[in-house]
């Protein structure tokens, strides 16, 4: 059985429903059945590593176990309710939607005591293992997986999945944080601060339960960061020792975002598949307030979108993550709506929306 068939198709209320019923009644699954290809036959750019017709497979992963704040698991539903699927369809994409069976996966985790400093390691491992299989299956099918989080620990799964189809893929990580703590360096123990170290296979990451399924799949030179401004001391040492290419907010201030993106593409090259992992806390908290670990001094609205647009323009995007939207946080309903809207607009920008 394919990995994706294991994920349940769900109704708007989150109840698991039979696919045939879903086809008849779920408004989400209409996107499978009646693509509006008359209005826009294909995306703005030719996505050269994908098969035709260009298809985005949206994977909803309502998971919060990589960090302590409730609500980030509601991010995917809010993004979908805001109209994301229809928006992507009107950009010319064929759109599929499925929801990771996170509840079922978590039900297999009976107790989840800390392992060393790691919090909820079994939950994160179980969910990311399945997500890796889902992303790999989508990529093998010639489609683009768009994973909606959920917290950033999910990227252990998404990047591992992308790398099964595209071992040469570059990883562009847009974030206030480096998320490269290891189980040895982390202060918080929150695994959303650690996914990159597991992908690289750094010292301390060869631990159960992850080492039962996850092999190092990323090289330091495959990775570029943009937007960093809150880096733990242990992470600074790792970044320097490995020589990872980092464009902090200082670099964005100094060069401007246009130059930074030129330098990003100079570094990774212009003919390689790109996995874009976008943490919405990369943007300034005035722009995306509803997120668990906001840090002042972030990307402004245009800088944030320009990054996604510049990646889209390459035609090399093969996978996208949009994570850390937490609709339970923020001052008021307007903060939440704004953060969700920007999760949608960043996704559209990466999938080829242009201003003209």
Ligand X SMILES: NC(=[NH2+])NCCC[C@H](N)C(=O)O
**What's the Cα-to-Cα distance from 100 to each of 95, 128, 218, rounded to whole Å?**
16, 10, 24
Do 144 and 47 contact (CB within 8 A), yes or no? yes
Q: How far is the CB of 279 from Mn ion (least distance, A)?
A: 3
Q: Integer distance in angstroms from the first to the last C-alpha of the chain?
A: 44
188 binds, among ligand X, Mn ion, none (CB under 5 to 8 A by kind): ligand X
| Sites of contact with ligand X (CB under 6 A) | 152, 177, 179, 181, 186, 188, 190, 192-193, 232, 279, 281, 293, 324
Q: Minimum Å distance from CB 205 to ligand X?
A: 14
Rounded to whole angstroms, what are the CA distances from 129 to 45, 102, 113, 301, 318? 32, 11, 19, 33, 19
Instruction: Report phi then psi at 16, rounded to 5.
Output: -70, 135
- Which has the closest alpha carbon to 3: 117, 152, 157, 148? 157
**Residues binding Mn ion: what is the number (CB under 5 A)?**
7
Residue 74 near which of ligand X, Mn ion, none (CB within 5-8 Å, type-dependent): none
Among Mn ion, ligand X, none, residue 190 binds (CB under 5-8 Å by kind): ligand X
For residues 94 and 36, the answer to whether their CB atoms sit within 8 Å is no
* x/- track of binding to Mn ion for residues 220-259 (CB under 5 A): ----------------------------------------
Among 279, 284, 303, 309, binds Mn ion (CB under 5 A): 279
| CA gap 318, 94 in Å, rounded | 15
CB of 51 to Mn ion, least distance (A): 30
Is position 152 annotated as part of the catalytic site? Answer: yes
Rounded to a whole number of angstroms, the minimum distance from the CB of residue 218 to Mn ion is: 15
State yes or no: is 103 an active-site residue: no
Active site residues: 152, 175, 177, 179, 192, 279, 281, 324
């Amino acid at each position: 059985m394919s990995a994706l068939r294991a994920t349940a198709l769900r109704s708007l209320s989150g109840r698991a429903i039979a696919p045939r019923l879903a086809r008849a009644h779920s408004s989400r699954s209409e996107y499978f059945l009646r693509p509006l290809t008359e209005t826009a036959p294909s995306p703005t750019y030719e996505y050269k590593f994908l098969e035709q017709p260009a298809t985005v497979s949206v994977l909803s992963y309502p998971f919060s176990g990589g960090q302590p704040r409730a609500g980030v698991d509601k991010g995917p539903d809010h993004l979908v309710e805001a109209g994301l699927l229809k928006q992507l369809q009107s950009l010319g994409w064929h759109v599929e939607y499925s929801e990771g069976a996170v509840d079922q996966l978590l039900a297999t985790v009976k107790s989840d005591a800390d392992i060393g400093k790691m919090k909820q390691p079994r939950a994160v491992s179980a969910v990311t293992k399945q997500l890796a299989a889902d992303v790999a299956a989508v990529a093998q099918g010639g489609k683009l997986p768009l994973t909606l989080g959920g917290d950033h620990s999910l990227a252990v799964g998404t990047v591992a999945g992308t790398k099964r189809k595209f071992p040469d893929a570059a990883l562009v990580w847009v974030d206030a944080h480096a998320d490269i703590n290891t189980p040895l360096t982390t202060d918080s123990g929150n695994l959303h601060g650690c996914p990159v170290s597991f992908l690289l296979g750094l010292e301390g990451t060869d631990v159960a339960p992850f080492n039962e399924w996850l092999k190092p799949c990323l090289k330091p030179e495959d990775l570029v960061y943009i937007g960093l401004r809150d880096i733990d001391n242990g992470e600074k040492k790792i970044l320097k020792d490995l020589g990872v290419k980092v464009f902090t907010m200082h670099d964005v201030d100094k060069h401007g975002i246009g130059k930074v993106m030129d330098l990003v593409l100079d570094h990774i090259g212009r003919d390689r598949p790109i996995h874009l992992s976008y943490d919405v806390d990369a943007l300034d908290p005035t722009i995306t307030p509803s997120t668990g670990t906001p840090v002042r001094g972030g990307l402004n609205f245009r800088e944030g979108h320009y990054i996604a647009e510049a990646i889209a323009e390459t035609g090399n995007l093969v996978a996208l993550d949009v994570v850390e939207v937490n609709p339970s946080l923020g001052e008021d309903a307007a903060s939440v709506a704004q953060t969700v809207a920007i999760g949608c607009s960043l996704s559209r920008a990466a999938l080829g929306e242009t201003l003209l």
